Structure 1
Amino acid sequence: MDAKGTVLGRNFIEKDRLYTMTNKLRKAQVTSGWISAPNFWRRINGIQTHIVNHTSHKIVKFAHEHGCDVIVFEYLDYMRVPKGFWGAKKLRFKLRYWRKKSIQNKVEEMAHYLGIRISRVNARNTSALAFDGSGKVKRNDKKDLATFTTGKVYHADLSASYNIGARYFIRSYQKSISEKKWLSLQAKVPELAKRTQQTLSSF
């Protein structure tokens, strides 16, 4: 995304293969009670390491090829397991959180070597709000698709990524202009007053 909010390129990275392994581990524990299951954990940790390395290299390579100055991530707050998450579902949530932290740390290390900066923005509502400003979205059971209030169906992570990029530029612009001018912009675009409500349309 450039400083005008134009999306210049995008890339999807293949999702992980942890679901099968965590389900097998859960079934084994249901059958035999709690077990240490070293073979399962060795394979899970191996997949985790592969995902971190593969994803980090993909992100940095994509940014470098497109001449990016900054790679923007969501700020990962303290992990809170949502209500109703238990068993394999709870385990996958924890593994996903640990994986995100590892990916961000590895990307930061690799990006700095290439002279690319890292920035983090407020994560609240980046997925919950449609990038076009139409309001809150409805997610399907798999959480990969989002239905906007206009009826349009969009990839949930792609919509969130647009909002993440926009929040970075909005924050940068706010720092570069006077308070008086910023207040006048807020009068025209009220959602600018709250970072948790900012979307690509706000930008």
Structure 2
Amino acid sequence: MKTPTKIIRTDKWQLNPTPDQKVFFGETVKIYRRACRFLVGIIYTHWAQLGSLTADRVAWPTANQLTPAVERLMHETAKRPNIKYPQFNKAFYKFPSYYRRAAIAFAAGQVSSFVTRYNEWQSGTRKRRDTKPPRLNADAGCYPALYKGQCYKLYGFDSAKPTLREQVEIKVFNGSDWVWTNVQITGLRERHQVASNKMLSPSLIFNERVCHLSVPFSCKPEKRKPEANVTAVDLGINTTATIAVVTHSGTVIHREFIHPGRDIDRRDKRLKSVSMRASLTMGKGGKLHKGFCSKTYQKCRRINNQIGHVVSKRIVEIAKKFNSEAIVFENLKGWKAKGGHKRSNLRQRFHGWLKAKIRDFTEMKWAELGGKVVEVVAAYTSKLGFDGSGKVKRDSKNYALATFSSGKRFNADLNGAYNIGARGVFKLVRRNGNEGRPSKRSGRSPRSWACLCDLWALRSS
């Protein structure tokens, strides 16, 4: 029996601290990072003994043996007066026990990651022959993890809707002592309102730009009773996503085009400015320095993320509205851009095609609702007419249009979405189990090249 995948999603809870609280947060993050750096050295020194305690991460008692083992080296108690590293208690006076255990867990993760990567480097597993060995980074810019009751307490979460009563009390360092302080929560998501979601230990994220709690949730979606339909998605460059909801009988009950043109124009305008600045910098020859226009590229990546989230959110909303059995995508893994005549921007447009990002974001959102994503063979989804008339001819002036053999003109992306939906239905009902295998009847296309008309034929038979 296949073990269900654990679904972890993180919400951002915005905080509104006072100027004094900002100082406290800064001191808390600073001393927590110092403790992590201190512990990285201790754990790495004794990794030969400690590393075996983290080998089994399935059973919690076994994995938890590491924390007391590290504490026996550096935490002095009445029953344990003689320890190897008494400097820790002197340097971090009254350091809360749960902050200490969170720091131990983080430091152990840093050391474990380094040792694994270093062993791989020593064994010759390298991208290049002259790759330098990895380094142990003790200053990783971490943030303190908060344990409920010991490091934070929540107030005002009795009502279902967010109100001004929501506050969090956090144990912080004021420069000389550890004290409790109440902070107003000004921004929430909705995952804490889902009864089946389990809230895990949040992290206090604070720097010069942001101040919020990063709150992870273990999501356990309810068992679904879907309708006999699928939501098919055709990802393109003329239209970002074309949606068709196809029933098992071959009826299209919904279709929609999603194309956030404003965001795409914002991104393309910035990318065009890069080529202009590059030509001014290099002239007729030369070389661009490392990090050229890095801020612009960073902004474009954020715009791409925004586009991916907007499109994937709408896809999931449609699938949820029609209670679809699955969301169907083309399998475009390994696909590379081809074509484009001289001075054409077609290849550049393909580089801005967010096929993987939209698919991954959709799968993450849909899995949280208990749905599944299906991939079908991409060959001939748009080249074959959904009515079984054979190959279609794309319009040379408007590539978004396709002309069927009967002379009918139809949207090429919508035609592809119909065929994708049909292949998804066949895959779900196991009528196309051997995908990609040729049909036993000679002269026919492979079974994976199913079209919408094949569902009609199945219904009438």
* TM-score bucket of the superposed structures, by smaller chain: 0.7 to 0.9
Flag the structure with larger Rg: 2
Aligned residues: 191
Task: After TM superposition, list the pairs within 5 Å mapping 1:94-113 onto structure 2.
Answer: 94-96=351-353, 99-113=354-368
Q: C-alpha distance in 1, partners of 2:349/2:328? A: 24
Residue 115 of structure 1: SS of its match in structure 2?
Answer: coil
**For 1:7, which of 252, 271, 275 is the aligned residue?**
252
Q: C-alpha distance in 1, partners of 2:361/2:350? A: 20
* 80-89 vs 112-121, which moves further: 80-89
Q: C-alpha distance in 1, partners of 2:272/2:332? A: 26
Residue 76 of structure 1: SS of its match in structure 2?
Answer: coil
User: Which structure has the higher relative contact order (CA within 8 Å, separation 6+)?
Assistant: 1
Structure 1 residues 88 and 26: alpha-carbon distance in aligned structure 2, compared to 1, 3 A threshold:
farther
**CA displacement 1:149-174 (0-9 Å, x = unmatched):** 22211111111000000011223444
Q: C-alpha distance in 1, partners of 2:275/2:410? A: 32
**CA displacement 1:57-102 (0-9 Å, x = unmatched):** 0000111011112100111131322044778533321221xx2111
- Opposite residue 194 of structure 1, the aligned amino acid is R
Q: C-alpha distance in 1, partners of 2:249/2:296? A: 48
TM-score (norm: length of structure 1): 0.80
Match of 1:118 in 2: 373
**For 2:384, which of 124, 129, 139 is the aligned residue?**
129
1:160 aligns with 2:405: no
Task: After TM superposition, list the pairs within 5 Å mapping 1:1-203 onto structure 2.
Answer: 1-16=246-261, 17=264, 18-33=267-282, 35=288, 36-84=292-340, 88-96=345-353, 99-140=354-395, 141-175=397-431, 190-191=444-445, 193-196=446-449, 198-203=450-455
Match of 1:180 in 2: none
- Opposite residue 134 of structure 1, the aligned amino acid is S
- Opposite residue 349 of structure 2, the aligned amino acid is R
Q: C-alpha distance in 1, partners of 2:340/2:272? A: 17
Residue 452 of structure 2: SS of its match in structure 1?
Answer: coil
Q: C-alpha distance in 1, partners of 2:273/2:345? A: 9
Q: Which runs of 5+ in 1 are unaligned?
A: 178-182
Q: C-alpha distance in 2, partners of 1:73/1:118? A: 7
Contact map agreement 2:402 2:411 (CA 8 A) in 1: yes
TM-score (norm: length of structure 2): 0.38
Structure 1 residues 28 and 143: alpha-carbon distance in aligned structure 2, compared to 1, 3 A threshold:
farther
Q: Which runs of 5+ in 2 are unaligned?
A: 1-245, 434-438, 456-461
* Percent identical residues: 29
Contact map agreement 1:26 1:87 (CA 8 A) in 2: no
* RMSD between superposed Cα atoms in Å: 2.8
Structure 1 residues 87 and 166: alpha-carbon distance in aligned structure 2, compared to 1, 3 A threshold:
same
**CA displacement 1:101-144 (0-9 Å, x = unmatched):** 11111111111111111100000111111111122222234522
> Comparing both structures, which one devotes a greater share of its residues to strand?
2
Q: CA deviation at 1:176?
A: 8.5
- Opposite residue 25 of structure 1, the aligned amino acid is V
Contact map agreement 2:386 2:419 (CA 8 A) in 1: yes
Structure 1 residues 152 and 119: alpha-carbon distance in aligned structure 2, compared to 1, 3 A threshold:
same
Residue 106 of structure 1: SS of its match in structure 2?
Answer: helix
Contact map agreement 1:22 1:92 (CA 8 A) in 2: no
* 5-14 vs 53-62, which moves further: 5-14
